[in-house]
Chain A
Amino acid sequence: MKIKQIAHLVLVNFRNFFREPGALFWSFAFPVAMAWVLGIAFSGSPEKKYKVFLSGDSTFQKIFPSASATGFTQKIGTGSGTSAQVEFLPASEKTLTDALKKGICVLYIDLKNGQPVFHYDPGNSEAVTLYLMLERELSIHANRPVYVTEKITMKGTRYIDFLIPGLLAMGVMNSCVWGISWYLIELRMKKLLRRMVATPMRKSSFIISHFVTRLLLTSFESCILVLFSWLFFGIQMTGSFAALVLIYLSGILAFGGIGLVLASRTQSTHVANGLINAVVLPMTIVSGIFFSYQSFPEWMIAIIKVLPLTLLSDSVRAIFNEGAGLPEVLLPCGVLTGLGVVFYLIGLKIFKWY
């Protein structure tokens, strides 16, 4: 063994690592920032909050002594270390399904002749956790009721129904932001961008070509995902196709614009990697792609709701699961298009062709 050689190579590796600002950011700052954001959502401060909907007869006092007919809040899991505030709300069938589709609640209790039936999707880890906490709470109760669980199977309310529209929206974002900015930066690094603008090529043709390319590619990608989830999970789109087309177009415009801005002055793909991730990753996590953003604090939800990815994924989800049509998506379409135009103008203004 050549200890000195190994030691020196380790030193060289360290130098390379610490002299790359991007690497430092991703290794140290980013995980801490993410932990902080997710920590706010799922732990610590001060307690997790869940909404559980109740349906059936209104004899919940048998299970929860503090229950009232208009809804009540109960602290559960106080003995186990991880406690949570659960808001129990009586609900009609309609509000219940709506809430499930939007991810506002992940579990509901149906009470039939004094016997609680827990409805949730075992595929959703958040619902499983909540169920386990509720189960524990009830089992230490004096008059422990006999309860059963039932898997949620109604189309549009399962976890997969929540997930697929989110994945479609994420696909649009990734394809546009990564696709456009990476490509443009590479062309700039090769000085090919400079070579191309030295011809009579119109800059607008060049930019439009990227939007069109992304439109075709994302449509194709989405078709494959939808086809797959239709075949395997029986996912169906209940809303209007025209609304879906419209929201896709505005989503591509918005994320294409973001891609253009990110690429406008970036000189190397090393820097781009960090820059793009810094924009894309937080949105992927907070915008309700994999889990609902309802458990973030109120003030954060207000911000999250206007993030482009949230606007897109909420709309796509509404079109797939809630039968949304053109009127429901007009506002998010307008906002996304507006964002797209603003980013496009900024991007073009500060874009460095050489």
Chain B
Amino acid sequence: MSRWRCWGALAVALAAGPVLGGCSSVKGGPERLYAVAEETTLIRDQLRRIDLAEFSALAEAGRMRYRNDWIAARMYAIDIQYTSYEAALTQERQNVGFGAAATTLGLTAASGLVAPVATKDLLTALAGFVTGARAAYDDNILLAHSMQWVQSQMRTQRTLVAERIFRGLKRSTADYSLAQALSDLEDYYRAGTFTGGLIATSETLGAEAKNAAEVRFGANASTEALQDCLRKPGARNALLNLMSPRSSLALGRLTVDTSAEAEAARTELLNKARAAGVC
């Protein structure tokens, strides 16, 4: 095999990553009529500074229009900046992950096509380097927290704050003051930041953890007595009425939990149920 062919194979392999990494599917989206910077400038030029004296002097209809126009324009400015930011986050993840995978595949394929041992070793070493670089990146904190999940939390939070703002904009300035609207606008901006997404993620995971209970299975005479009782028509509601607080999850737990605490609660419940003629 000629030297040129060897270098050709290497060039093809190295080119595969960047070429595939530049596919349309991994770009942020179609071209804009105005670039983000141009559009931001247009909005800024159109937007007057808030003049509280002028705002206060207006009649209620004028104040609402002033507030709503100002908030809507700022929201739009935040939206176009956010789109750009979100696309950059997505591209960052895709370029490294997909680009490295494509380059590795290209190098592996090329090493099978060339004969000289030295070239194969070089290609294999390069493939190992690229794979190692990706592994190092994957260990990065951004990916450890799953960027996709964080981005989805950012979108959710932005939608929630936007809904709050839109509801507010329908109200009078006495009910939804300009200051409140500006504070919500700041929340809207923060919801679209990576920090906002991380906070929302940890809150969501915390809430999910709070809503899950875990127990090791156990069975004895009293769990079977409770299960037998539950099979009777109307027993479930009657048993729930005897519980404080009323909780079907707690009732379900009593059918499988043989810890001392659960045993005591189950015995008390069964005694009450027997006295009431339920079981």
Q: Do A and B bind each other?
A: no
